[in-house]
Amino acid sequence: MINDIKNDAQERMVKSVGAMVDAFKKIRTGRAHPSILEGVMVDYYGSPTQLSQLANINVEDGRCLAIVPWEKPLIPAIEKAIMKSDLGLNPSTTGDKIRVPMPALTEETRKQFIKQARAEAEKGRISIRNIRRDANGMIKDLLKEKEVSEDEERAGQDQVQKLTNQYVAEIETVLAAKEKDLMQV
């Protein structure tokens, strides 16, 4: 019983950390990386489709992405989607290729992105603490229904707390790496 609750909590904590890592991918650093455009949706014949499913996205050099659509008529739609995407990027078209230069980060934008990263990390921590609360509540319910003893309940809560500490530490590690990445000039 308690192991099932613990395994469920661990599964959900892994997903929370994964969601935070995905959110970090959208925070751009000074370098070009295809994952920056991961959330961009393009209007493909009336239905929103991920850009990665409509084109090849490559790093041309350290500060420029090259997008080669599989269908040439999609070029204007892709450009429009990138401009609407709230990433602060300006694509330019050259024939059948779209180039997306990454603007250099100023000190102010770096600090803004670090604040954004810290906010995402805090969301991850809150999510993990909520999962801990849910798991502890389920364990207490088992105690009330007399399906487990008080010792088993205490041991189960200790196991859930260890999981919580482990995943909060993982969030801190990922956040520190992202901050270091953002501060590199």
Average pLDDT over residues 129-144: 92
| Same domain membership, residue 94 and residue 50 | yes
| Same domain membership, residue 179 and residue 140 | yes
| Same domain membership, residue 112 and residue 80 | no
Share of the chain above pLDDT 90, in %: 34
Three-state secondary structure call for residue 45? coil
Integer Cα distance of 118 and 96 in angstroms = 39
DSSP state for residue 33 in the 8-state scheme: -
Instruction: Report the domain count for the chain.
Output: 2
| Same domain membership, residue 88 and residue 62 | yes
User: Alpha-carbon Rg of the chain, whole angstroms?
Assistant: 22
What's residue 46's pLDDT? 83
pLDDT tens-digit readout, 16-40? 999 998 888 777 666 777 777 877 8
Structure tokens at 176: 């520190």
What's the domain range around 64? Answer: 34-101
Domain boundary (81, 101, 121) is at: 101
Question: What is the domain-level CATH number for residue 44?
Answer: 3.30.1360.40
Convert 60-123 into a string of H (helix), E (strand) and C (coil).
Answer: EECCEEEEEECCHHHHHHHHHHHHHCCCCCCCEEECCEEEEECCCCCHHHHHHHHHHHHHHHHH
| pTM as predicted | 0.70
What's residue 163's pLDDT? 94
DSSP state for residue 54 in the 8-state scheme: T
Check: CB of residue 104 under 8 Å from CB of residue 138: no
pLDDT tens-digit readout, 63-78? 888 989 988 888 888 8
| Same domain membership, residue 176 and residue 123 | yes
Sole residue written with tokens 């000190």: 107
What's residue 175's pLDDT? 93
Domain boundary (101, 134, 153) is at: 101
Where residue 66 falls (left for φ over 0; alpha for ψ -120 to 50; beta otherwise) is beta
DSSP state for residue 152 in the 8-state scheme: H
Chain-centre distance for alpha carbon 20: 4
The H-or-E segment that residue 141 falls in is: helix 107-144
Check: CB of residue 107 under 8 Å from CB of residue 30: no
| Same domain membership, residue 73 and residue 9 | no
| Same domain membership, residue 91 and residue 52 | yes
Domain boundary (76, 101, 126) is at: 101
Structure tokens at 14: 């892994």
| Same domain membership, residue 43 and residue 94 | yes
| Same domain membership, residue 90 and residue 113 | no
| Same domain membership, residue 135 and residue 90 | no
What's residue 95's pLDDT? 82
What's residue 185's pLDDT? 61
Dihedral angle of Cα 163, 168, 174, 176, to the nearest 10 degrees: -140
| Same domain membership, residue 142 and residue 128 | yes
Question: What is the domain-level CATH number for residue 13?
Answer: 1.10.132.20
| Same domain membership, residue 91 and residue 114 | no
Task: Work out the mean pLDDT of the chain and round it to a whole number.
Answer: 87
Contacts of 104 (CB under 8 A, 6+ apart): 30, 63
